[in-house]
Amino acid sequence: MTNSFKTLAEFFDQFNDEVQGRDLGEPPEEIQVQLRSLAQGGLPARDQPELFALLNQNPEWVAGLAREVKALRKPPQNEANQRGR
């Protein structure tokens, strides 16, 4: 895991159900694909600086990245047990 991705992951872990940033609009499909890839840890390191610059210029897109990261989390153990009943 790259240091930048690890920093983002740790940042998002600080917030349970809160999403940072204002969702003013969805990024273009190409950027959404890159955000999903970043959240999954699959965006090549050479592509990350450009995406981070775009996130800096469009802070409302951080909410979408946060949703992607949160979607990867496993449900809490007690929730998983309740669903299986």
Compute the CA torsion angle 11, 14, 17, 59 (nearest 10 deg).
-30
Range of the domain at 69: 3-16+26-74
pLDDT at 23: 47
* Residue 66 included in any domain: yes
pTM > 0.85: yes or no:
no
For range 65-83, the mean pLDDT:
76
Q: How far apart are the first and last CA of the chain?
A: 36
- Is 32 within a domain? yes
61 secondary structure, DSSP code: G
Maximum Cα interatomic distance, the chain, rounded to a whole number of Å:
46
**Domains in the chain: how many in total?**
1
Residue 79 lies in a domain: no
Per residue in 4-56, pLDDT tens?
777 777 777 766 555 555 445 789 999 999 999 999 999 999 999 999 999 99
* 63 within a domain of the structure (yes/no): yes
